[in-house]
Structure 1
Amino acid sequence: MAAAPLLHRPSAGAANPDLLPLVGRTPLARVRTELPYAHPGFWAKLECLGAGGMKARSAVSMLLGARRRGDLRPGAPVVESTSGTMGVGLAFAGQALGHPVILVGDTELEPSMRQLLRAYGARLELVERPAPEGGWQAARISRLREVLRQLPDAYWPDQYNNPDNAAGYRSMATELCGQLDHLDILVCSVGTGGHSAGLVGPLRRRWPGLKVIGVDSVGSTIFGQPARPRLMRGLGSSIHPGNVAYDAFDEVHWVGPAEAVDACRRLARGNFVSGGWSTGAVALVSAWAARVESGAVVATVFPDGPHRYLGTVYDDDFCHTHGLDRTELAVRPLEIRRPWAAEASGWARCRTVVDPVPSARPRVPAPAHAGGIA
């Protein structure tokens, strides 16, 4: 990769703390759309209806935590790697707290998302090719470190390993406790590991028997599968984030892009509320859990809405180009006894969850309870 041009230090705008009360306080929707079969229904937290989306919760938490520790000085730049959604959250937090934001993305970032992030005042740095190991994420982080060397007063939240990421979702846990009388199963998409780690502790204190299902992308290495090029963005990873609380999960599902697209489109046609890759994946698994666990109260989080995905998930030409309209859809997950026993090429399930690299990176303390699905 060619040497990056020198960056000028961006100027800080005035803080707008009146934005902060707009974070969160999102409603629950009851979803009964067939996905792909009939099911009793599940609850979905609609994070697209909060300012800045789901990641605004963690972005504000990370910047406030850094300011308390003195790691982020007033008006200093914030630099972070993003595939899109965290970028929106940081753009929101930067405006609210008075910090210019530099986002390191890649050329797979949708043109509409690039326009949106720039409209929110963020500066974009795009890497042009993935790293041989670690893919786009490793390439983005390499470029991010170059930016930090050029802007020594800038702050990197490091969303993958920052405990304040998870802490930002305690407000969501409080909201869920107030919105639900009971909860048996929580279904969480897993990317940085932030929202699952932040939700599980408070929710299990309220409902000690809570079962937690993680939802990952085919081709993601988070739960011990080999890293492969991934079409789906927003969940999954080519690296092992330190925020993933492996002990919190009772089982993990890997979902392929064709199943996620089918679920998204079914939601849009039959439930109006839909979203992108993560939403389709968790909706599919939530409907399955509600169907197989008779009488269980199931809840999940829809991280964002459909607008970012009009050129991918909801575009017939895109789906045809990538063969998603010709893929035979799984109607139930393939059972894998161990994460390394077989490579998932479509919807798969494993009830053995382990940390693939327990000693290679810093860890966030896991919640006290870790049960298993019978």
Structure 2
Amino acid sequence: MNFTLLERFSPGAHVPRGARNPAQLVGNTPVLWITEPFAADGRGFFAKLEGANPGGIKDRPGLHMIREARRRGDLLPGAPVVESSSGTLGLGLALAGMTYGHPVTVVSDPGMEPAMVRLLTAYGATVDQVSAPHPRGGWQQARRERVAELLAGAPGAYCPDQYHNPDNVAAYRPLALELIAQLGRVDVLVAAVGTGGHSAGIARVLREAFPGLRLIGVDTVGSTIFGQPALPRLMRGLGSSIHPANVDYPAFDEVHWVAPSEAVWACRQLARRHYASGGWSVGAVALVAGWAARTLPPGTRVATVFPDGPHRYLETVFSDAWCHEHQLLGQEAPREPDEIAEPGERTVAAWTRCAKVRDPLGGDRAAEPAKAVTR
């Protein structure tokens, strides 16, 4: 039967409605089945492609934290928003600032890619870069202290404080509900951990539906979140040199640390085999999710989240020259992780798994570096 264009796109057809503003484009992201080279023989994992959002996964908390702050009266109409970010939350806040009418300043450091600086500026945000790391808390604590300085000089300004704000966690409830609707069942969630927001928020909702859910955290070598010593880190978007309060330590069943060369290998394999890739977090979670798909019993439904797409990383992860300079090419990632029995047993430098997860501060958040003033 022949159909005219008018018949095919009649008012009764299921055609997505046009968005009235860019914030309406956030959410309902697709899920893609990933197999080789991460898993074979009919096994694989489902990846939630959050790079399909206008700016990436942190469009969700960017919009939610600002909306909730306005609802509570913590953020008055037109008041400035100031926050520390390595990039992706900056995009989410730029979108929120555009949506709700707030000027946005993103405090970052020299590790932010020039393309990200240009993109944030194009979206109307101001980028303020610190010049030296904090002696104990590294770049993150240096950025947070700069945020406090800017807040002190701008009465009425607001900092969402993504590291400690429970609204960051709550923002991921819709993502979890989308996964349930798309997959029907999730047995294992593999999640990168940075601020702790999306791992805590998604797992909490999934466990309401699937109490037996297994949560695997993915961190980077050199990160202090799960009890390793804080060291200089090449990978951005996951890991931390401070201890974010949003990390839900009891929720994790195990943690894996991944090295930069291993994440680069995974990112490039994803691009070549599946036309879906991203940055450091994407490569790291793909490596671990593939391992889970290979080693857990057949029929186990493994899901993970790809927080962004590849475009931000064209001059790093996907640049041969840059990767050669940092000695990240020339070797395939191992098929299995090394293992340690205790999180602080030794300093890890390559993909390593630990089945014991605990809060390195022992629940004593008074030992944390001082938080930035948020109002």
Structures share fold, TM-score greater than 0.5: yes
Q: 1:132 to 1:36 in 2, by over 3 A?
A: farther
Q: 1:52 to 1:77 in 2, by over 3 A?
A: same
Q: Which of 325, 329, 338 is the equivalent residue of 2:329?
A: 325
2:6 aligned partner? none
SS of aligned partner of 1:273? coil
The answer as to whether partners of 1:246 and 1:353 remain within 8 angstroms in 2 is: yes
Following superposition, the deviation at residue 36 of structure 1 comes to: 7.9
Q: Which of 121, 125, 134 is the equivalent residue of 2:124?
A: 121
1:315 aligns with 2:325: no
Q: 1:321 to 1:38 in 2, by over 3 A?
A: farther
1:191 aligns with 2:194: yes
The answer as to whether partners of 2:265 and 2:332 remain within 8 angstroms in 1 is: no
1:201 aligns with 2:204: yes
Q: Which of 98, 102, 107 is the equivalent residue of 1:95?
A: 98
1:305 aligned partner? 309
**1:154-207 deviation per Cα after TM superposition (whole angstroms, max 9, x unaligned):** 000000000000100001011011001221110000000000111111101111
2:135 aligned partner? 132
**1:86-132 deviation per Cα after TM superposition (whole angstroms, max 9, x unaligned):** 10111111111111100001111100000000000000101112111
2:68 aligned partner? 65
Alignment partners' CA distance in 2, 1:87 and 1:71: 20
Q: Which of 287, 290, 293 is the equivalent residue of 2:293?
A: 290
Moved more, 71-80 or 19-28: 19-28
Following superposition, the deviation at residue 326 of structure 1 comes to: 4.7
The alignment-based identity, stated in percent, is 57
The answer as to whether partners of 1:330 and 1:346 remain within 8 angstroms in 2 is: no
1:247 aligns with 2:250: yes
Alignment partners' CA distance in 1, 2:234 and 2:221: 9
Alignment partners' CA distance in 2, 1:17 and 1:242: 36
1:11 aligned partner? none
Alignment partners' CA distance in 2, 1:39 and 1:274: 21
SS of aligned partner of 1:73? coil
The answer as to whether partners of 1:190 and 1:235 remain within 8 angstroms in 2 is: yes
The answer as to whether partners of 1:191 and 1:235 remain within 8 angstroms in 2 is: yes
The answer as to whether partners of 2:25 and 2:53 remain within 8 angstroms in 1 is: yes
Q: Which of 347, 352, 356 is the equivalent residue of 2:356?
A: 352
Following superposition, the deviation at residue 57 of structure 1 comes to: 0.6
The answer as to whether partners of 1:39 and 1:291 remain within 8 angstroms in 2 is: no
SS of aligned partner of 1:64? helix
**1:207-247 deviation per Cα after TM superposition (whole angstroms, max 9, x unaligned):** 11110000000000000000000000000000000000001
**1:257-313 deviation per Cα after TM superposition (whole angstroms, max 9, x unaligned):** 010000000000010000000000000000000000022110000000000000110
**1:330-371 deviation per Cα after TM superposition (whole angstroms, max 9, x unaligned):** 321111101011111000000000011134328xxxxxxxxx
Alignment partners' CA distance in 2, 1:255 and 1:220: 10
Alignment partners' CA distance in 2, 1:241 and 1:174: 25
Alignment partners' CA distance in 2, 1:359 and 1:145: 25
Q: Which structure: larger Rg? A: 2
The answer as to whether partners of 1:217 and 1:232 remain within 8 angstroms in 2 is: yes
Q: Which of 228, 232, 238 is the equivalent residue of 2:231?
A: 228
The answer as to whether partners of 1:39 and 1:287 remain within 8 angstroms in 2 is: no
2:8 aligned partner? none
The total of aligned residue pairs comes to 348
SS of aligned partner of 1:324? coil
SS of aligned partner of 1:235? coil
1:281 aligns with 2:284: yes
In the superposition, the TM-score normalised over structure 1's length comes to 0.90
SS of aligned partner of 2:285? helix
1:367 aligned partner? none
Q: 1:147 to 1:17 in 2, by over 3 A?
A: farther
2:172 aligned partner? 169
Moved more, 62-71 or 344-353: 62-71
The amino acid of 2:163's aligned partner reads Y
1:45 aligns with 2:48: yes
Alignment partners' CA distance in 2, 1:51 and 1:170: 19
The amino acid of 1:350's aligned partner reads C
The answer as to whether partners of 1:39 and 1:290 remain within 8 angstroms in 2 is: no
Alignment partners' CA distance in 1, 2:331 and 2:259: 10
Mark the runs of 5 or more structure 2 residues left unpaired by the alignment.
1-18, 367-375
The answer as to whether partners of 2:39 and 2:291 remain within 8 angstroms in 1 is: no
Following superposition, the deviation at residue 147 of structure 1 comes to: 0.6
2:343 aligned partner? 339
In the superposition, the TM-score normalised over structure 2's length comes to 0.90
SS of aligned partner of 1:124? strand
2:275 aligned partner? 272
The amino acid of 2:58's aligned partner reads K
The amino acid of 2:258's aligned partner reads V
Q: Which of 22, 31, 34 is the equivalent residue of 1:31?
A: 34
The amino acid of 2:280's aligned partner reads W
Q: Which of 38, 51, 56 is the equivalent residue of 2:59?
A: 56
The answer as to whether partners of 2:39 and 2:293 remain within 8 angstroms in 1 is: no
